[in-house]
Amino acid sequence: MLRIHCPWCGTRDESEFRYRGDAGRVRPAHEAGLASFSAHVYERANPRGWHLEWWLHVAGCRQLLKVLRHTQSHEIRWVGRAEEPAPLPEDCAP
Amino acid sequence: MSAAPGRVVAGLLTAGGRAVTFRFDGRIFQGLEGDTLASALLASGERLIGRSFKYHRPRGIITAGPEEPCALVDVMTASGREPNQLATTLLLHEGLEAVSQNRWPSLAFDIRAALDRLSRFLPAGFYYKTFMSPGWAWERLYEPLIRRAAGLGVLAPVVGAHAEAAETLHEHTDVLIVGAGAAGLAAAAVLGASGLRVLLAEQDAALGGGTLLDARWQAWRERRRAGLVRVPGVRCLERTTVLGAYGHGVFAALEVLGAAERAAFGGLRERLHVIRAQRVLLATGAIERLIAFPGNDVPGVMLAGAALAYLRRYGVAVGRRPVFFINNDEAYEALFALAAAGITAAGVADVRPASHAAQRARELGVDVLCGARVTAVRGRGALRAVQVVTGEGGQREFAADCLLISGGFTPAAALATQLGSPLAWQESIAAFVPELAGAVGRVAGAARGVFGLAAAAREGALAGQAIAAELRGREVAAAAAAAAEAEDAGLPADAMATPMSPLWEVSGRGRAFVDLQNDVTSADVRLAHREGYEHVEHMKRFTTHTMATDQGRIGGLLGSAVLAEARGVPLSEVGQVKARPYVQPVPFAALAGGEVREHYKPKRRVALHDWHERAGATFVPTGLWLRPLVYARASSWEAVLGEARSVRRAVGITDVSTLGKIDVRGKDAARFLDFVYANTFSSLPIGRARYGIMLREDGMVFDDGTTSRLGPEHFLVTTTTANSTAVLEHLEFQLQANCRELDVLLTDVCDQWAQFAVAGPRARAVLSAVVGGRELSNAAFPFMAAGEATIAGVAGRLFRISFSGELAYELAVPASEAERIWLAVLEAGTPCGISPYGLDALNTLRIEKGHVTGAELNGNTSAADLGFARMLKPQGDFVGRVLSQRPALEAADRLQLVGVRPAVRTRRLRNGMQLVAPEAPTASLGYITSSTPSVELEGWVGLALLAGGRARIGTRLTGTSPLHDERLEVEIVSPHMLDPENTRVRA
Amino acid sequence: MGGGGHGLATAYYLATEYGIRDVAVVERGPIGLGNVGRNTTIIRSNYFLPDNIRFYEFSLKLWEGLERRLNFNAMVSQRGTLNLFHTEAQRDLMTRRANQMRLLGVDAEAVSRDEVRSLVPLVDLDNGRYPVLGGFLQPRGGTVRHDAVAWGYARGASEAGVDIIEHCEVTGLRREGARITGVETTRGPIAAEIVCLAVAGHSSVLAAMAGLTLPIESHVLQAFVTEGIKPVLDVVLTYGAGHFYVSQSDKGGLVFGGAIDGYNTYGQRGTLPMAEEVAASAVTLLPGVARLKILRQWGGVMDMTMDGSPIISRTPLAGLIFNGGWCYGGFKAIPAGGMTTAHLIARGEAHPVATHLDLARFAAGRTCDERGIGPYPYLH
């Protein structure tokens, strides 16, 4: 079971959060066109390793958090606010 | 009533215990309080406890703990027959009724035991190559036979009786110590003295582990236990097995309540502790292993450590004439203890050429054969004699009533493995040993391959000190360790031990078992190898080795060793089968806790729930909500249409409080709504509502609802009931991830506002009497108007929106005022013939009108499919814009929303009916999503999603439900079947 | 690439159906220990979308003849799959699904409350929260002894001349321009005209070696097995108001499957919240199992796609064929996945029952989304 350290609320069980997927993806401007949007919506780096991801603290502050988590060990290395730049490790997929 | 001939001394756990009467297979026995079923049966001289899984061989008791593979029984309880209880851990209580398993008609005479004689035709994996002809025979003949023979115990719940509740406790601690033996107790003392919160979980009924079996350690153990009780941060949980390790310091532990506590907690049997710890200390000890030799399953064969445990803990001698077959000095402790109780071993076969312990045994006058091994046993239902080959090749036979064996000790590494620990082969103990990363915790004592109680205690103290240093700093840890050490001056010394010598298998005539519960023999393992199943996981799957309830705790490594020998590689290379949760089998009830049956999911009730109930409503669970379906005992079309008719003809009131309500404020509120909705909201005037559709980013419709502008920077979004949570999360996500520069505040106000729809031609007349401060005429409050209003004297909101297709208003009032206002509206409406209506009537009304709900918004429909293409704003960005414009989403043959009516008006429609062209009756063109008998139109009306549907309006198709053997001709019509000009809503 | 169910089946059908015997299957570890060795063994073809019904029915038909063809008893047991429903909306969806199946000639039956009771006496129809309103039965659905499937295909493929190379990890793909020409492995390079990726669960990792990004996330799906008991359940039962399905194995254990945990993972292990959820659902629907004990909990890593349907497709790289994205439907699809992937390799075009499973469907907007959930794999 994941324990996520919310910067606003403290360390909480995963059941308090809702996963919202890969936070490395940036929504293209709508002028970017179909190919960019299609890649944004459908393609995932899906690394076996460090993964920057969104978690929404629905049973707490309802803030969107960025979490840097390893998808094999589940180790969490960093949790930040939505707008914070994440300290990405070398081996983190772009 | 049987006597207890086996009770030879006072046992640590049974001394002074009252007599307890119990039944086994209908016979009445007596044991002592503190006994397990196994110790009580052994005390009574019972040896035969069950029949094995595959060959139905007689089986007895082989261990004294949770690692038992053989002595499983069914227990009769008030709620039914509970299968596969371990006699070795089942605490005796008055009236306990246990039944042996897997035998018919009786334990002593089991017809299927004939299978044993056929065993050479039934080796491991035999079924993969047999039972195949004739072709039909597997399913109709062989499989039913195999299934009937499957399983051990019988699950026979009493229908209607529900098992006792269990509960879940959430624990937060600094350090979890698993195992309260010498290592665990020593560590707890140091950690507790450091001021850390400690949870000490011990699966046994008493703290102490191995110290319980050594009288010299009694004083130390009592001192430790008393010391721990005094430290406020330390909690000891007995009868608590840590079942699994789940990462991030989370563990699940199962506590089985003792009789007294059970009574005090209303019959509660178990607690699941969900533990969150900063560090774990695994002091789980080691498990004695079996040796594979012919006849190693005959009742009377037992692990030497188990014999010691029965004597020390329960005062029970497992035999009067024991023979030993061992390869290590630790196992001699049973011999010495039995000798002290007056029972001298008939002989010892020690596989080693010489040992310290053998020497001590000889000094007691025991016939010790070194370099010897047991090659066979005599006796079938009970052991009678043991045959031994000596180091020099001589044959000896010992008359014996039990054979106490020990093949060495394997560290209990299951939890460490779950935590990702690598297992390192340690030659000196011939076993795999775990190690944990410091940030996770430590392993100490026998669990790490360090045997001897004094050594374990020292290890535990050091591990505790290391953890305390990490969490509290070096100085605190050192001081705590020094204090503990001072108290521990003069630990009893560990005896000098000669190293063990690995022995896995003695080959000979007859079967040597490596898995006693699944009846896997060493020959089966070799067969697996010959068939090409060389990897240990393949061998496991082919033979079922280690897949029984004991997970191969005493024999797992044997299977690997036999496989290693067959492959001609070292055992360290073969490895062992990976341990998975759970460390002990765990009842569903315990994992489920209290969230079962009516508490399975929380119930959300609307503010008016009690009124609806008093009004005789039938409720329907929709998600977590309970919604009034119809105001009648059971839903019938008559009742539903009655409610719907009063809306169409007079006026009705319905509770729509379950719709999601999200308050959107801020200077950028309108811009934000323009981004999340496919249509425009920035142009919405204050005091007006607008129907909106939200798309997913892939262009499909996500949700719909009306949104009202209450102020320049203030909107109220409503969502469907089903999606209320999802929409809120979607908006929060979009705001925080993609619109960070916008100044918007989202607030979920779903529970704050009760909301009612008052609909029907007389709605205005009713509301005029209730709503103050607002004129309700079309001019003053037209269709899609919205705003503040005083409703029955309360500040609320009024919306002129309609889902039913009638003149309608929705009123929103503070939830606390819901009932008063609802009653006020009902009273005002009485002269107009007002009637409450439920979800079913609402559904009838919206289908006639062609409004969509979840049945049509099914996640695969685009705005264009539903006829909303023109709502999409032509300019600007919004969620789903780009992908909704893909050519495939505009294909002419996409499923589009249409209305459906039976060509013969007396025929009925059915949801899920397929639509086909008469000339191609198996090619589905679409399906009916919703249908109802109509109030205003003749016969049934329905909505459907139909390929190229809009172009088919005016044509006829076949509606077919092969499932119900129904076919009928249907007319495809516009979905807006009633009042397409919207005159009613604007009335 | 991949000695699991789909890789072995593909090799088997290439050799026996399409006459292509110069085939090697490379597997990082021993064969059959990925998802085919750790699943809940259900076979069925009760899908919503016509294209999916055709594909899975093709698979079910292959299952029905598999043991004779392989001369290996995989214990295909068509004891029926029973899906329960608890709301009228669910009844409608299942009616629609069953009718669609029947139109395509696939077996499906409606089952009343009373029939549910007699099929599964353990079910508490009025369980206090989401009463059972009825069910749908596919009589030809059932279970298969999963390990035997891998072993049977491996044996058959090997006898037909396929090389199965265990303990051989692919470390890279050989590439000439936009064409894949073979693989690099820990045991040396292998040149090949066609390389087929069949490593569901880890597709993204291997595809990344070729520079491809897939419409896939990896998620763990969990399973649980109880102690063995005498027979109490003779169908595959699916709960409609929570997350589990269950069948009883020939050994007597009840095998439960749960749902995915809902966040990306490659950890092949069970988690506690899902265990608690499955247990609560099980005790609610089947109160009689309350005292039954769970022995083991484990997890398998699934390729979850953006529409919940699998992918059998060419890729942007010539010479690279992709079989993956099985979500939690990979086991039942092994025969069809193998056959249609072999067809694609041998004939250079999609098998008629698998034309809808191409990679291009996502960008084009032709997704096959059974449940209408959209491109959110963690919600599927």
HEC string of B95-122 equals CCEEECCCCCECCCCEHHHHHHHCHHHC
What was the pLDDT predicted at B311?
98
What was the pLDDT predicted at B380?
82
What was the pLDDT predicted at B116?
67
What was the pLDDT predicted at B112?
64
Distance from CA of B422 to the nearest CA of A (A): 14
Instruction: For residue B533, give the 3-state DSSP assignment.
Output: coil
- Name every residue in A having a CB less than 8 A away from some CB of B: 1-3, 13, 18, 20, 23, 27, 29-30, 32-34, 37-38, 40-42, 54, 56, 58, 62-64, 73-74, 76, 82-83
What was the pLDDT predicted at B894?
96
What was the pLDDT predicted at A94?
45
What was the pLDDT predicted at B54?
82
What was the pLDDT predicted at B110?
63
Q: Does B745 touch chain A (CB under 8 A)?
A: no
Q: Does C293 touch chain B (CB under 8 A)?
A: yes
B472 and B569 together in one domain: no
Q: Choose the mutation target among B268, B588, B627 for the interface with C, i.e. most C CBs under 10 Å.
A: B588
pLDDT per position as a tens digit, B282-310: 999 999 999 999 999 999 999 999 999 99
Which residues in chain B have Cβ-Cβ distances shorter than 8 Å to A40?
697
Decide if B662 contacts B656 (C-beta within 8 A): no
- Whether residue A93 is predicted with pLDDT greater than 60 in this model: the reply is no
Q: Does C267 touch chain A (CB under 8 A)?
A: yes
Q: Do C99 and B963 touch (CB under 8 A)?
A: yes
Residue spans of chain C under pLDDT 70? none
Query: Which residue, among C349, C351, C345, C350, has the nearest Cα to C20 in the 3D structure?
Result: C345
Bridge partner list, C46:
none
Q: Do A44 and C262 touch (CB under 8 A)?
A: no
What was the pLDDT predicted at B490?
74
Distance from CA of A61 to the nearest CA of C (A): 20
Q: Do B736 and A82 touch (CB under 8 A)?
A: yes
Task: Give chains near B: 3+ CB pairs under 8 A.
Answer: A, C
What is the CATH code for C5-73+145-216+307-379? 3.50.50.60
B702 and B834 together in one domain: yes
B676 and B750 together in one domain: yes
Q: Choose the mutation target among A56, A63, A73 for the interface with B, i.e. most B CBs under 10 Å.
A: A56
Q: Do A74 and B729 touch (CB under 8 A)?
A: no
Q: Do B854 and C89 touch (CB under 8 A)?
A: yes
In a domain, A77, yes or no: yes
Q: Do C95 and B418 touch (CB under 8 A)?
A: no
Q: What is the mean pLDDT of residues B776-805?
A: 96
Q: Do B151 and C228 touch (CB under 8 A)?
A: yes
- Whether residue B148 is predicted with pLDDT greater than 70 in this model: the reply is no
Average pLDDT, chain B: 93
Burial B174-193 (b: 16+ CB within 10 A, else e): bbbbbbbbbbbbbbbbbbbb
What was the pLDDT predicted at B236?
97
Bond before A28 cis per omega within 30 degrees: no
Q: Does B881 touch chain A (CB under 8 A)?
A: yes
Distance from CA of C197 to the nearest CA of B (A): 23
pLDDT per position as a tens digit, B601-659: 999 999 999 999 999 999 999 999 999 999 999 889 999 999 999 999 999 999 999 99
Residue B26 domain boundaries:
1-156
Q: What is the mean pLDDT of residues B498-504?
A: 96
Q: Does A58 touch chain C (CB under 8 A)?
A: no
* Other Cβ atoms closer than 10 A to B117: 9
Q: Do B592 and C87 touch (CB under 8 A)?
A: no
Q: Choose the mutation target among A25, A64, A74 for the interface with B, i.e. most B CBs under 10 Å.
A: A64
Instruction: For residue B467, give the 3-state DSSP assignment.
Output: helix
Q: What is the mean pLDDT of residues A64-78?
A: 96
pLDDT bin (cut points 50, 70, 90) of residue B3 is low
Cβ-based contacts under 8 A for chains B and C: 302
Q: Do A43 and C214 touch (CB under 8 A)?
A: yes
The enclosing domain of A51 has a CATH number of 3.30.2270.10
Task: Give chains near A: 3+ CB pairs under 8 A.
Answer: B, C
Q: Do A74 and B883 touch (CB under 8 A)?
A: no
In a domain, A61, yes or no: yes
* pTM given for the model: 0.95
B816 and B944 together in one domain: no
Task: Give chains near C: 3+ CB pairs under 8 A.
Answer: A, B
Q: Do C264 and A73 touch (CB under 8 A)?
A: no
Chain C residue with minimum CA distance to B594: C280
Among the candidates B357, B390, B406, a domain finishes at B406
Decide if C226 contacts B152 (C-beta within 8 A): no
Return the structure tokens found at C129. Answer: 């929260």
Distance from CA of A62 to the nearest CA of C (A): 18
What was the pLDDT predicted at B496?
87
The enclosing domain of B466 has a CATH number of 3.50.50.60
pLDDT bin (cut points 50, 70, 90) of residue B484 is confident
Q: Choose the mutation target among C263, C277, C305 for the interface with A, i.e. most A CBs under 10 Å.
A: C263
B41 and B134 together in one domain: yes
Distance from CA of C195 to the nearest CA of A (A): 21
Q: Do A44 and C214 touch (CB under 8 A)?
A: yes
What was the pLDDT predicted at B2?
46
Residue A64 domain boundaries:
3-23+37-81
Which residues in chain C have Cβ-Cβ distances shorter than 8 Å to A42?
215, 306, 362-363, 375
Q: Does C263 touch chain A (CB under 8 A)?
A: yes
Decide if B856 contacts B945 (C-beta within 8 A): yes
Q: Does A26 touch chain C (CB under 8 A)?
A: no
Domain boundary assignment for chain C: 5-73+145-216+307-379, 81-140+217-305
Q: Does B738 touch chain A (CB under 8 A)?
A: yes
Spell out the residues 6+ positions from residue B316 whose beta carbon is closer than 8 angstroms to its own: B6, B7, B8, B11, B39, B42, B43, B310
pLDDT bin (cut points 50, 70, 90) of residue A92 is low
Which fold is adopted by the domain C81-140+217-305? D-Amino Acid Oxidase; Chain A, domain 2 (3.30.9)
Q: Do C92 and B912 touch (CB under 8 A)?
A: yes
Q: Choose the mutation target among C39, C49, C77, C96 for the interface with B, i.e. most B CBs under 10 Å.
A: C96
Domain count, chain B: 7
CA angle C221, C275, A69 (to 5 degrees): 60
pLDDT per position as a tens digit, B418-470: 999 999 999 999 999 999 999 999 999 999 999 999 999 999 999 999 999 99
Q: Choose the mutation target among C292, C297, C309 for the interface with B, i.e. most B CBs under 10 Å.
A: C292
Cα-based distances in Å from A57 to A5, A8, A24, A66, C261? 10, 10, 19, 11, 17
Nearest to C273 among A14, A35, A51 (CB): A14
* Residues of chain C above pLDDT 70, percent: 100
Chain C residue with minimum CA distance to B910: C92
C-alpha count within 13 angstroms, C-beta hemisphere, residue B424: 8
Domain count, chain A: 1
The enclosing domain of B123 has a CATH number of 3.10.20.440
Nearest to C204 among A19, A46, A53 (CB): A46
The enclosing domain of B932 has a CATH number of 2.40.30.110
In a domain, A9, yes or no: yes
Q: Do B883 and A29 touch (CB under 8 A)?
A: no
Nearest to A46 among C216, C267, C375 (CB): C216
Strands B625-630 and B618-622, bridge-based pairing: antiparallel
pLDDT per position as a tens digit, B532-566: 999 999 999 999 999 999 999 999 999 999 999 99
User: Of all helices (H) and strands (E), which one includes residue B952?
Assistant: helix B949-952
Cβ-based contacts under 8 A for chains A and B: 62
CA distance B444 to C171: 39
- Whether residue B1 is predicted with pLDDT greater than 50 in this model: the reply is no
Q: Do C204 and A71 touch (CB under 8 A)?
A: no
In a domain, A16, yes or no: yes
pLDDT per position as a tens digit, B259-283: 889 889 988 999 999 999 999 999 9
In a domain, A87, yes or no: no
Chain B residue with minimum CA distance to C121: B159
The helix-helix angle for B182-193 and B218-230 (nearest 10°) equals: 30
- Whether residue B243 is predicted with pLDDT greater than 90 in this model: the reply is yes
- ipTM field: 0.98
B442 and B555 together in one domain: no
- Whether residue B111 is predicted with pLDDT greater than 70 in this model: the reply is no
- Whether residue B77 is predicted with pLDDT greater than 50 in this model: the reply is yes
Residue with tokens 């009713």: B766
Return the structure tokens found at B664. Answer: 């959107």
